[in-house]
């Protein structure tokens, strides 16, 4: 049972933010717009969204009751 849900939500948001740099090709990294990079980025964003949304439901239930 995880008691510190804020750390999981924060780390999920950071993962999402960093991954969006790779999804929209930034010239600093020198990576082009390729299919495999988009597929990996979408998978990592999905992981970050689940790390953000699942604990937020529990937190909302705890603080409203």
**Residue 57 banded pLDDT, cuts 50, 70, 90:** confident
Mean pLDDT, rounded, for 9-34: 85
Q: Each residue of 24-49: pLDDT tens digit? A: 777 777 777 888 888 999 999 999 99
Question: In the prediction, which pLDDT does 34 show?
Answer: 83
pTM greater than 0.75 (yes/no) = yes
Is the sign of the CA dihedral 34, 35, 39, 45 positive or negative?
positive
Report how far residue 31's alpha carbon sits from residue 48's, in angstroms, rounded to the nearest whole number: 22
**Residue 23 banded pLDDT, cuts 50, 70, 90:** confident
Question: In the prediction, which pLDDT does 39 show?
Answer: 92
Domain count, the chain: 1
- Domain hosting residue 32, numbered range: 5-64
How large is the C-alpha radius of gyration of the chain? 15
């Amino acid at each position: 049972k995880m008691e510190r849900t804020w750390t999981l939500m924060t780390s999920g948001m950071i993962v999402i933010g960093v991954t969006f740099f790779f999804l929209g090709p930034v010239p600093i990294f020198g990576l082009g717009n390729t299919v495999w990079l988009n597929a990996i980025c979408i998978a990592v964003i999905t992981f970050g969204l689940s790390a953000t949304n699942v604990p937020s439901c529990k937190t909302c239930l705890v603080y409203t009751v």
